[in-house]
Structure 1
């Protein structure tokens, strides 16, 4: 991979993508795209992430742009609908954006909301989709007692699993022991992708499955190695990527020997505009793992403001030494 700062900066295209639904507290998503000999790669760590963490995302982007992807074992990747922490009246309109998806991941434990809000949201999902698989994602927002209370309140909706209910590995392990009799699996996300040791959660017996994301783990190859060593079922998910980044995640999912769960790679449906035409969104409940190249006209029309491009160039300079 070419790691020269000036050449990388020249290859980098920064875009600002408006969201159809507010997500993670933002209304637009900034991403940086790199062109390379193998195709396009995406670098889109959230703005609050420090250079040390952003470096893994950068390695993933450059690997995807410069190197051929690992061999794939499936030509289509089933995906879930992702439901932000919206009020029940908006659930139907959000889910309508996900063509053919029969699994729903609903955000819970949103700051400023109550457990009653989560229960009402999940109840609306179940009423609209009686046969759907429902999983919830707390993004580490509960302590152990709060998580146990919430899981017991939500268990009547037949949850597929609960993703990152607590922040720490120790809390996840304790909670898993408490709710084991309910038969609701615990999934680890942040405890994998934001950890210095992504395998610690597996060694601690703190999760039943892993949520893996190609960018935060350093690329498709690194993520495949982590899943193999962990020995746990994996769900491939995204970090609100553009179609370019989603195709990297889809390539990871298509390369896994086993894929027992629908993947969180349908989040292109949350964007009001994307760099690809057509965008990588669910069709019949699945996405393709083929490479995606941005449309030049969209790349130009969605280009970030000059000040934001300068900020990303500064971020690139700060991050590159940590590769």
Structure 2
């Protein structure tokens, strides 16, 4: 992915001095979890967040730490907009639960619907997407996200079944770039654009998907790509439209994504940054919840009382601090 290590690294003692580990409950299961853990800390530029998912190894998680340090210690690029339109995010819930989920995203005009959930069927996906279309009518925009969960033939079958609901695009329907290239060729007649997410943020070369002609647009997340500056560089290098999305962050992490979205040269799609609506708690008294379908660009004010109220257990806090130290060592080795 190239060098994402900040130069120079701030002292580890400075990073840990203000570190807090929080455990925030979700309003509904998402990515298989019901509690989102995050380590937050304060740098000269403001509060920042380190929250790679627990299953990621240190090499991958270190890129998230680079992003956190970039956001805490480096001024963000010049903003080209002051607010960002965001989409509703619909987890892999039963169709009857869809209206309740959508109600948490007031004013949003776009919904991203999770599909290809392990243990579910295409019929479940069709029912969920149909429920969103029924709730929002013909004017609402619907995009689906399979997280690479289908093989090539399954993806073609699924898009054929879901295309009647007028999809804005299909995000990461297959896991591998060659599959995306072939799928894009097969479904061209359906007029369903293909978006790449994991093929960008988990790739050694995040521009390979663009060179292969495997996607019509990119879904980018600041933290997994090494920070706002690195993600902006990738988008400009790819030369494709981009959607900025979140990784189920606290409002601190969402403010990082908003800084990225604000700095893009063009922004033609609603962004997946409204996911604080899936959290039952946050670290600020003014969480970044969609209002009239949008979010303001800017830093958030962290509330010390909320940090204490939602503090993780001592065992989990120790686990996260140890993880941060290991990831710092990875970055340190990379900067030598």
TM-score by length of 1: 0.98
Does 1:118 pair with 2:121? Answer: no
RMSD across aligned positions (CA): 0.9
Segments of 5+ residues of structure 1 without an aligned counterpart are none
Which among 261, 264, 270 is matched to residue 262 of structure 1? 270
Which among 146, 150, 154 is matched to residue 158 of structure 2? 150
Please give the per-residue CA displacement for 1:129-180, whole angstroms capped at 9, x wherever unaligned. Answer: 0121000000000000000000000000000000000001111111111101
- 1-structure distance, mates of 2:40, 2:78: 23
Which among 200, 211, 216 is matched to residue 224 of structure 2? 216
User: Contact 1:187–1:210 (CA<8 Å) still a contact in 2?
Assistant: yes
Segments of 5+ residues of structure 2 without an aligned counterpart are 1-7, 332-336
Q: Could you tell me how far 1:72 is from its partner in structure 2?
A: 0.2
Please give the per-residue CA displacement for 1:211-254, whole angstroms capped at 9, x wherever unaligned. Answer: 00000001100000000000000000000000000000001001
Q: Could you tell me how far 1:313 is from its partner in structure 2?
A: 1.3
SS of residue matched to 1:152: helix
- 1-structure distance, mates of 2:282, 2:257: 16
- 2-structure distance, mates of 1:245, 1:34: 11
Q: Could you tell me how far 1:181 is from its partner in structure 2?
A: 1.2
TM-score by length of 2: 0.95
User: Contact 1:236–1:253 (CA<8 Å) still a contact in 2?
Assistant: yes
Which among 32, 36, 44 is matched to residue 37 of structure 1? 44
Q: Could you tell me how far 1:309 is from its partner in structure 2?
A: 0.6
User: Contact 1:2–1:8 (CA<8 Å) still a contact in 2?
Assistant: no
- What is the aligned length? 323
Instruction: Indicate the residue corresponding to 2:334 in structure 1.
Output: none
Which among 75, 79, 100 is matched to residue 86 of structure 2? 79
Q: Could you tell me how far 1:320 is from its partner in structure 2?
A: 1.1
Which among 235, 239, 245 is matched to residue 237 of structure 1? 245
- 1-structure distance, mates of 2:93, 2:20: 32
Following superposition of structure 1 onto structure 2, how do residues 122-133 of structure 1 map, counting pairs within 5 Å? Answer: 122-130=129-137, 131-133=139-141
Does 1:26 pair with 2:33? Answer: yes
- 2-structure distance, mates of 1:193, 1:314: 24
- 1-structure distance, mates of 2:14, 2:70: 15
Does 1:184 pair with 2:184? Answer: no
